[in-house]
Amino acid sequence: MQIEAQSSASASVNEDIRGNKTTTNVNIVPLNTIFWKVLGISNAIDEILLEHQNQFANLALIQDREIRLQEENSFLIEY
């Protein structure tokens, strides 16, 4: 089986079966293309997770402030 790579990421696979030469077109995606796609998806997931982490951190800060304000208000009401 001979694979002739083409710049369009597709290739023609020439097979010699019992002396009959047939040509079948198949799409072949180079591994480096797959790697960069997976890396891009991985980076996008990392960005989403970082954004969620920042949102949770901000939410925790807001909750801490609210608790402190409630404690200060109860302290002021008592006195």
Distance between start and end Cα atoms, the chain: 90
CA dist 50 and 36 (Å) reads 21
Task: Express each pLDDT in 17-64 by its tens digit.
Answer: 555 665 666 677 788 889 999 999 999 999 999 999 999 999 999 999
Percent helix, strand and coil across the chain, each rounded to 5? 60, 25, 15
Kindly report the pTM of this predicted structure.
Answer: 0.47
Strand partners, 23: 14
pLDDT at 26: 66
pLDDT in tens, 3-19: 444 444 444 445 555 55
Q: How confident is the model at residue 69 (pLDDT cuts 50, 70, 90)?
A: very high
